[in-house]
A and B are shown apart, each in its own frame.
Chain A
Amino acid sequence: MREVCDLVVVGAGPGGLAAACRAAEAGLDVLVLDAQPEPGGQVWRGEARQGSNRLARRWLTRFSASGARFRPGARVIAAPEPGVLLVEEGPSSFAVRYGRAVLATGARERFLPFPGWTLPGVLGVSGLQVLVKDGLPIRGKRVVLAGTGPLLLAAAATIHSHGGEVLYIAEQASAASHWGFALQLWRQPAKLLQGALMSAKLVSVPTSTDAWVTAAEGERRLEAVRLSVRGREEHLHCDYLGAAYGLVPNLEVARLLGCETTSGAVVVDDRLQTRVPKVHAVGELLGIGGVDQALVTGELAGLVAAEQPVPLALERSWHRVRTFAAQLARHDAPRAELLRLATPDTLLCRCEDVPMSALEGCQNLREARLYARLGMGACQGRTCGTAAQTLFGWTGEDVRPPCLPARIGSLRLPSDVSSTPTRES
């Protein structure tokens, strides 16, 4: 099976949708791939079905009308040569021949280990939010949220609006940094308003800065959590815990293609082109920056891919969102206490059941992988590798195919691909 297109967009979140719309409207044949069953990515999850977010509805409607093709449930697994992607989709696979690519693979949450974090009922903050959007029954259920940043309030709002009882919102940042961040938002009035609106609905929920989860408790399932709140311990019985600390970009496809990355972001020029010819990167891949950055950079990349002129207003927006993203990055680092919650028995690698104690004597990620099996399981180190980078400063290894587990059959090259000459180094 084979797809041919002028532009392939990997990821159907705001960034990918914006790029696809602009490029398709300019006449390019655009193919959009996403692992999810519907467009919208994480931040607009569920909007395609039953939208309440007007911005999301506008872009999803525009996407439907744009002429771009969408293949849901599609995961990029290999890039055997420039201009070709191998994609796994359900029980089969196909190759994509593309002229240009826009990588819009978004972000995932940063999980840090703490006692009990592997109990069923413990999820990410965004993880719990999207499950609720996807129909998790939450009405009357007691929920504790622990994490950092605007995502906490967004998740709380979703849970609250679906009838969940948010018992506590624990923000790990200190009051000083939290309010400093808020004060700086005066330069980004839209964000300030967004934050205030979200806060208003939740005015009765106990929240605190300098607060985090120290342990999740339960026999076969989550039953209660222990929180540290400004030095005091709190003990809360609950049904779900959302606990994750910030976001990290999904760089795997970009690195598979050979894009240069620095400080956890893809290196791009002012036209969002990576070091790999004809490959652009947008959105969270440039550094966590939220919906605004995704839309602005997505539009820009879509226009560049279609060789269209970039309006001055869009250039100015690009500057504005870059400033906000830089501010966000300064407030993102989890505090030191979060790095010491795990005990020797606490698992670090969930896929291979590797406890913290197994890492004794390991000095870097390669040793931890080879001696202790860290990251050698199904998630290919996405969960534990991110945690290890935060906990120990260990940086990652090269990304090789398959960049997600895939059937061996999906790695087989279609005949027209394997007959082309091997690429030059």
Chain B
Amino acid sequence: MSAFDCVIVGGGIVGAALADVLSAEGVSVALVEARSIGTGTTACGMGHLVAMDDNAAELALTAWSVALWRELADGLPATVEYDACGTLWLAADDEEMAAVSAKVANYRAAGVRAEVLDSAALYEAEPALAPGLVGALRVPEDAVLYPPVAARTFALRAQARGARLMTGCQVRELRPGGVVLANGEVLTARHVVLAAGVASPLLCPGLPISPRKGHLLITRRGAPVVHHQLVELGYLKSAHGTDGASVAFNAQPRVTGQLLLGSSRQPGDGTREVDAALLERMLKRAAMFLPGLDGLQALRVWTGLRPATPDGLPLLGPHPEKPWLWLACGHEGLGITTATGSARLVADQLLGRASVIDARPYSPARFLSASGREVAHA
């Protein structure tokens, strides 16, 4: 039997970030991961650190988290590939351009630097874009990084402070006082944190987390075609729609000179095979924004499963009916971005202190208490 203050189940970027924060506070931590640190959903996404304003709670968490990443950046190894390239939200028509004006006000009110680019300024910034775009919202302090190494960096920092790192180690059961591993070993802990992404409902039945499959494509090394993370404003409709499969243009230049291309969403789909028809839709959409796309060399295509909650906000805090169990999961497509803020919010609640931002919108009680369950099933 091993005893810790806190056992974190799940070694993705959220669990690893939490291990980093808690261990820095002197909390004894075990980080338990079924496979390897940062190699699951964490490794499948774009690593885009993005302030998103679909609702106030999302903007608060993402803005704060992006700023936290910025503070950490100098201390991160070069292999994390942190690059403050900024985001351009692309407006394809006047309606989307009107949305840009609303967004810029939201961002500025939340302390996020943002500016409007008209079409001339947009094409000066990104000459490779297809003609006909009306303008863009530029968020210069957004960034990109390489998530597997970021997660591993957090985990190794925690380990250097005495945290126990257990990889290749499947958890079979969560219970008050600890966890039972698949091999029968018991880890005792005052607090158990579930940060297992799409696998979380397996260990805590009833969690309102369902998979949302995405596709990505990366090109070979070569001259980068773009300078910012490019996202079409239609992405917001894709990310927050709850019905059928959708695609939206999303592109990122990597420091290697490769271009990372997305995105797609298939709600409720937990399979891993590449879906040829959806890949075709994604590439067709992307080609509308980057006319030279068909000539670029594709190196790999892969899929990932985002863990989605009904309202698109993560579960960060205590399980209302199990005071020994804390949740840090359900981040959909914002796990990398909000790993920093999520870790602090959960750590704050574990340690019984106030947070920089209001933690209530991410409270698991909103779905898991008696009244919350009615909301979840609405």
Contact = CB atoms under 8 A, between A and B. Distances in A.
Direct contact of A and B (CB under 8 A): yes
Interface of A: 78, 80-81, 363-364, 366-367, 370-371, 376-378, 380, 398, 400-402, 405-413, 417-418, 422, 425
A406 B36 contact: no
Contacts of A425: 271, 273
B273 A411 contact: no
A71 B298 CA distance: 23
Nearest to A81: B276
Contact of A363 (B152, B167, B279, B300): B167
B38 A370 contact: yes
B295 A413 contact: no
A277 B344 CA distance: 52
B294 interface: yes
7 contacts: A80-B276, A366-B36, A380-B300, A400-B274, A405-B220, A410-B298, A412-B283
B307 to A, nearest CB: 19
Contacts of B293: 408-409
B277 A363 contact: no
Given A80-B276, A363-B167, A408-B283, A370 B43 contact: yes
Given A402-B301, A422-B277, A408 B148 contact: no
A408 B273 contact: no
A88 to B, nearest CB: 10
A418 B277 contact: yes
A413 B302 CA distance: 17
Contacts of B284: 412
Given A80-B276, A376-B300, A402-B299, 10 more contacts: A78-B276, A363-B36, A400-B302, A406-B298, A407-B296, A408-B294, A411-B283, A411-B298, A417-B276, A418-B276
A401 B148 contact: no
A378 B274 contact: no
A378 B221 CA distance: 9
A407 B39 contact: no
Which 8 A-B residue pairings sit nearest by Cβ, starting from the closest?
A409-B294, A80-B276, A370-B148, A413-B280, A418-B280, A408-B298, A367-B36, A405-B297
B266 to A, nearest CB: 10
Interface of B: 35-36, 38-39, 43, 148-149, 152, 167-168, 217, 219-221, 271-277, 279-280, 283-284, 293-302
Contacts of A408: 217, 219, 283, 293-298
A57 B144 CA distance: 57
A422 B167 CA distance: 37
Contact of A411 (B38, B148, B221, B279): B279
Contact of A364 (B36, B148, B152, B301): B36
A419 to B, nearest CB: 9
Contacts, number: 88
Given A401-B274, A405-B299, A363 B217 contact: no
A269 B257 CA distance: 46
A407 B302 contact: no
Given A363-B168, A367-B36, A412-B284, A402 B298 contact: yes
B298 A380 contact: no
A412 B280 contact: yes
Nearest to B35: A366
A409 B292 CA distance: 10
Contacts of B271: 425
A380 B299 CA distance: 8
A29 B27 CA distance: 70
Nearest to B146: A370
Contacts of B39: 366-367, 370
Contact of B301 (A367, A400, A412): A400
Contacts of B35: 366
Contact of A407 (B38, B294, B300): B294
Contacts of B295: 407-409
Which of A371, A406, A417 lies at the interface centre, i.e. has the most chain B CB atoms within 10 A of its CB?
A: A371
Contact of B277 (A367, A398, A409, A413): A413
Contacts of B168: 363
A365 B152 CA distance: 16
A422 B148 CA distance: 32
Nearest to A362: B36
A403 B352 CA distance: 52
A392 to B, nearest CB: 15
Contacts of A406: 297-298
A401 B273 contact: no
Contacts of A401: 274, 276, 279, 301
A423 to B, nearest CB: 8
A391 B14 CA distance: 33
B97 to A, nearest CB: 29
Contacts of B36: 363-364, 366-367, 370
A232 B21 CA distance: 56
Contacts of A422: 275-277
B299 A412 contact: no
Nearest to B274: A400
Nearest to A420: B277
Nearest to B147: A370
A364 B168 CA distance: 11
A422 B245 CA distance: 13
B294 A412 contact: yes
A241 to B, nearest CB: 28
A401 to B, nearest CB: 6
B8 to A, nearest CB: 19
Nearest to B36: A367
B70 to A, nearest CB: 24
A378 B277 contact: no
Contacts of B297: 405-408
Nearest to B217: A408
Which of A366, A370, A401, A417 lies at the interface centre, i.e. has the most chain B CB atoms within 10 A of its CB?
A: A370
A407 B298 contact: yes
A312 B1 CA distance: 65
Given A370-B43, A425-B271, A400 B298 contact: no
Given A405-B220, A408-B296, A371 B275 contact: no
Contacts of B296: 407-408
